[in-house]
Homo-oligomer: A and B are copies of this chain.
Amino acid sequence: MFKINENYLKLPGSYLFSTIAKKVAAFSEAHPDKEIIRLGIGDVTLPLAPAVIGRLHSAVDEMADQNTFKGYAPDLGYDFLRETIAENDYAARGCQISADEIFVSDGAKSDSGNIGDIFDIDNKIAVCDPVYPVYVDTNAMSGRTGTYDPATEMWSDVIYMPCTKENGFCPEIPKERPDIIYLCFPNNPTGTTITKAQLQTWVDYALKEGCVIIYDAAYEAYISSADVPHSIYECKGAEACAIEIRSFSKNAGFTGTRLGFTVVPKALKCGDVSLHSLWARRHGTKFNGAPYIIQAAGAAVYTEEGRKQTKEQIAYYMNNAKVIREGLVSAGYEVFGGVDAPYIWLKTPDRMKSWEFFDYLLNELQVVGTPGSGFGPSGEGYFRLTAFGSAENTIKAMERIKTGKVNG
């Protein structure tokens, strides 16, 4: 009899967003007249930029003509896109990353899950707490995390690095040495960042101890502070210890269009073996390239027009973030993030649990957010709001929170 991967059975259910959806649906059914404002989800709402739309149309036209039709793409990505990325995201910031160290994919979620394939099962991972659940779940699926304790909501073989207001949401070097360290800045869910100097201490540590850092920079485009690095390769020596994952989802609204890339520098080695060659083999064997029309659209994001238009989109969301931040502060909340990231992380008032605060917001004010405890034990007592709603709804939600009631 064939055998399944039993590690899957150890996974706890992923109930966060489904529980939210059920609670919202139940409220809605009981109060069909009440207008609910959703500031919970990490999905964009603005349409694709005109430069992207234009290039999608012209690329579709290319697919209609035998002379310009594109069959199988190069597994690792079209050169036109890899070169554009190398120039704009790396060379322009002084990072020595070449086009052939950039692997184009269908998105950061796939890459952050699949990257585990090239590592041995016998590696200890360290993650921030709270954290994007994909890092831990995908390692659990491959048997790298030990056993799960439902009481603590923690795995026995994972090093959790608490990120709370006490340490400014910046993880401290753990006492036990990890092999693989997941870092995500600007951070989801806390919306906080790391300075270049702080990130350099992680790079130095990884180089000294022989760790690899998996750096998720999906929210890089939201950075406005000068001392916050856009790429880990701005840090000295990072090309010998870090993999960087990027996405077009949040900088250009590609959540439903799907495009991302991962940087694996050739200098990143385990003994004599370059991780670049392993990832190239994985990519070439288990993936057949991102669609041509999507890669063409991705390159359009880097044109003068594309840059201007996507910058305007980000400014729109970041204005929402400002409205949320300022609204919460004036309502007396303790607020974090929302300056270099589209997420606002707030301390729940009166020692309320995250879910209690969720119920309060939904039932009293008809505003939906995300309970911090859903992202890990250290998220308890916190709550996430996102800047991806419409400007009108964001303002309306803040009015409700500030006045403690729903008008009109």
- By a beta-carbon cutoff of 8 Å, the part of chain A in contact with chain B is 1-6, 8-9, 11, 14, 43-48, 50, 53, 56-57, 60-61, 63-66, 69-73, 106-107, 109-110, 113-114, 117-120, 122-123, 134, 137-138, 141-142, 179-180, 210-212, 253, 255-258, 270, 273, 275, 278, 281-282, 284-294
Contact of A65 among B47, B285, B292 (CB under 8 A): B47
Closest to A63 in B: B48
Tell me whether A4 and B278 are in contact (CB under 8 A).
Answer: yes
Pick 12 A–B contacts, CB within 8 A, sort by A.
A1-B210, A2-B123, A2-B179, A2-B210, A2-B211, A4-B273, A45-B69, A45-B71, A47-B66, A57-B57, A57-B60, A70-B256
Tell me whether B4 and A293 are in contact (CB under 8 A).
Answer: no
B residues less than 8 Å from A285 (CB atoms): 14, 113, 134, 137-138, 141
Contact of A48 among B5, B64, B270 (CB under 8 A): B64
Contact of A289 among B1, B46, B53, B258 (CB under 8 A): B258
Kindly state the separation between the CA atoms of A263 and B3 in the bound complex, as whole angstroms.
19
B residues less than 8 Å from A289 (CB atoms): 256, 258
Closest to A75 in B: B109
Tell me whether B48 and A256 are in contact (CB under 8 A).
Answer: no
Closest to A48 in B: B63
Tell me whether B1 and A270 are in contact (CB under 8 A).
Answer: yes
Tell me whether B56 and A44 are in contact (CB under 8 A).
Answer: no
B residues less than 8 Å from A290 (CB atoms): 106, 258
Copies per assembly: 2
Tell me whether B47 and A64 are in contact (CB under 8 A).
Answer: yes
Tell me whether B69 and A60 are in contact (CB under 8 A).
Answer: no
Kindly state the separation between the CA atoms of A258 and B212 in the bound complex, as whole angstroms.
32
Closest to A70 in B: B256
Contact of A257 among B63, B211, B275 (CB under 8 A): B63
* A291 touching B294 in the complex, CB below 8 Å, given contacts A117-B5, A180-B2: yes
